[in-house]
Amino acid sequence: MSKKNKEELIPKVLTEKTIPLYDGLISCPIDAPRRRTLDAFQKKIGVTFNRIEILNIALTHSSYSRSYGKVFNDNEKLEYMGDAVLELASSTYIFKKFPSLSEGDLTKLRASVVCQATLAKIARRLKIGDKLLFDYGEESTGGSDRDSNLEDAFESIIGAIYLDLGWDAAKNFVFIQLAPEFKNLTDENISDELPKIIRKNLSDYKSNLQEFLMKDNPNVKIEYVELNSSGPPHMPTFEYAVKIDDKIFGKGTGNSKKLAEQMAAKKALQKLENQLKKSEEN
């Protein structure tokens, strides 16, 4: 179907009632029940938006806006902003909470905790999936409980808070949501607990990658290969790549071979999920 024909199918009333915001963002229309949902949600998360329409955009999946010819924004641009804000805010939180950790250990801790599984868990705790707008296809195939959708929506909410209310509000929101993930961890015990945290939170990337690939191709070939190793024996650094049917899809580094493999699998998963999202949009 041509772009023109798609646009002809868009209800004229919907196009006329879209809501322009700042920074070129446009929200879809918000009826009274939707506004009540958004208002209850902002109270739940302890944030009062100047323009609640930006929260509506943060909770609009790309499938929904695509079904209306993209005449309003979905949450992808806010996710881009929220991802950057989350990285800085989470880095600030960890830096302040664990002053004894080295730069390398701070990076490992952030990577192992501030990951898709954790962000999806936080999103479930906030019941974000119930508030997301999807088209029928995405909704009927479990889109409201899919980790990638929940992670994206959580990051989009952070982006919305930042754009509407500024850095301090966004930082405080991130601090509050991350705090339960660091319960019982102190600067005194973090050095002992860090290896266990990394093993726990990074243990599933390889199995998740295998499950993702074998769903469509049971005979897919997955191979992990060492690219490089450096550093002294007591503090080595390994670089690994994951090959899928002999093509490199992700590279990762770590102070053990297992950790480097997990990080490579994480990169590959992110790449494949982004490719899938783009193909669904076309």
Kindly report, residue by residue over 25-51, the tens digit of the pLDDT: 999 999 899 999 999 999 999 999 999
227: domain CATH number? 3.30.160.20
Please report the pLDDT score of residue 217 as a whole number: 85
Q: 140 lies in a domain?
A: yes
Containing domain of residue 86, as a range? 3-182
Indicate if the alpha-carbon torsion angle 190, 192, 195, 200 is positive or negative. Answer: negative
Please report the pLDDT score of residue 3 as a whole number: 39
Beta bridge partners of 251: 241
Q: How far apart are CA 14 and CA 164, in angstroms?
A: 24
Please report the pLDDT score of residue 274 as a whole number: 81
Please report the pLDDT score of residue 9 as a whole number: 44
Is residue 30 exposed (0-12), middle (13-18) or buried (19+ Cβ within 10 Å)? middle
Both 76 and 159 in one domain: the answer is yes
Both 154 and 82 in one domain: the answer is yes
**How many domains does the structure of the chain reveal?**
2
Both 162 and 218 in one domain: the answer is no
pTM of the entire predicted model:
0.73
Q: How far apart are CA 194 and CA 267, in angstroms?
A: 21
Both 173 and 214 in one domain: the answer is no
Q: 277 lies in a domain?
A: yes
Q: What is the mean pLDDT of each run of 10 residues along the chain (282 residues)?
A: 40 69 92 94 97 96 89 94 95 95 86 85 96 89 87 96 98 96 91 81 75 84 92 79 94 81 88 80 65
Please report the pLDDT score of residue 266 as a whole number: 87
**Catalytically annotated residues:** 83, 155
44: domain CATH number? 1.10.1520.10
Q: 189 lies in a domain?
A: no
